[in-house]
Amino acid sequence: MSTAAVQQGTKWWSGGRSPFNASYGKVMMWYFLMSDAFTFGAFLISYGTIRFSQNHWVDPNHVFNSFPFAGHTNLPLAFVSLMTFILIASSVTMVLAVHEGHKMNKAGVEKYMLWTILGGLCFLGCQAWEWTHLLTGQHEVLVNGQLEYWNTTVAHNPFGPEVMFNGKEVATPGPIAFGSYFFEITGFHGFHVFSGIIINIIMYLKTKMSHFEQRGHYEMIEKAGLYWHFVDLVWVFVFLCFYLI
C-alpha cells in the first residue's frame, strides 16, 4: 500500500501524495526515532537529576583510564575516544552505502554495508571489554574502617571521595547511582547498536540477494541508515554525559 500514483501539479498537502515527498516508511522511521529519542531523553534526564543531587561524583578521567593490552596505564579517555571514533567512522561508511545505493551500485552498497557492520561489531567488542574491565577490576576501598577490594557494579562504586588512612590516600565508596546509570544507559545503547547490526546484516543479505536491485531502489538502506545515525547520535550524548562531564 505505498503512496498512490503521485500527481504532478497538485499541492503538497492536498492529498494524493506525500507532503514531505517521503515514503510512508521514512515518515514512520522519523517518528520512531523521535519516540526513541524520548526514551533516551528520559534516561539521561533521570541520570542528570540523580547525579546533581549527589555531593560527590566519580572523576571520569580516573575511572576510564585503561587501555586493552597495556596493563595498568594512565590514558584517560583514550579507549572511549577510540570507541567513539569507530562508531562515527561506521556512520561515515553508512553514508557511503546510501550514496552507492542512489547510484544503484550493488557492489558498492555491499562493500560499505560490510564496513558498517564491522564498525558496529568493533564498537560492541570495545564495550564488552570496557564492561568486563569495570566489572572485574578490583579497587581498594575503605569500608567501615577496613580496606576492601571492590569492583564496579550496579550496586558498588569504589571511586568515592578519598580520605587519609594509615598515612595514605584511599577511596571510600562512591554513589552507587554511577554504576547503575552507567551500565543501564550504555547497556540500553549497546542493545540499540546490537539491533542496528542485526538490521544492517539483513540489509546486507537483501542487497546480496538483489532484492533492492529488483525493487529499483535502495530505500531500505536509507531507512536502516537513519536508524544507524540515530544510534551514533545518541552515543554522542552518552559520551558527553558519562565521560566528559
Give residues in contact with another protein (CB under 8 A). 1, 3-4, 7, 10-11, 13-16, 18-20, 22-25, 27-28, 31-32, 34-36, 38-39, 41-43, 46, 49-50, 53-54, 154-155, 175-177, 180-181, 184, 188
Task: Work out the angle at residue 44's Cα, subtended by the Cα atoms of residues 48 and 196, and round it to the nearest 5 degrees.
Answer: 160
- Residue with Cβ nearer another protein (112 or 182): 182
- Residue with Cβ nearer another protein (51 or 99): 51
Q: What is the identity of the amino acid at 18? A: S
The grid cell for 22 is: 517521503
- Residue with Cβ nearer another protein (14 or 136): 14
Q: What is the DSSP string of 82-134?
A: HHHHHHHHHHHHHHHHHHHHHTT-HHHHHHHHHHHHHHHHHHHHHHHHHHHHH
Of 116, 229, 242, nearest to 178 (Cα)?
A: 242
- Residue with Cβ nearer another protein (85 or 191): 191
Q: How far is the CB of 116 from another protein (least distance, A)?
A: 24
Q: If you compute the radius of gyration of the chain from its CA atoms, what whole number of angstroms results?
A: 23
Task: Work out the angle at residue 227's Cα, subtended by the Cα atoms of residues 46 and 1, and round it to the nearest 5 degrees.
Answer: 120
Within a 10 A sphere around the Cβ of 202, how many other Cβ atoms? 12
Within a 10 A sphere around the Cβ of 100, how many other Cβ atoms? 21
Q: How far is the CB of 1 from another protein (least distance, A)?
A: 5
Q: How far is the CB of 11 from another protein (least distance, A)?
A: 8
- Residue with Cβ nearer another protein (125 or 187): 187
- Residue with Cβ nearer another protein (103 or 217): 217
Q: How far is the CB of 180 from another protein (least distance, A)?
A: 4
Q: How far is the CB of 143 from another protein (least distance, A)?
A: 12
Q: How far is the CB of 213 from another protein (least distance, A)?
A: 22
- Residue with Cβ nearer another protein (21 or 210): 21
Q: How far is the CB of 219 from another protein (least distance, A)?
A: 14
Q: What is the DSSP string of 41-62?
A: HHHHHHHHHHHTTSS----HHH
Distance in Å from the first CA to the final CA of the chain: 48
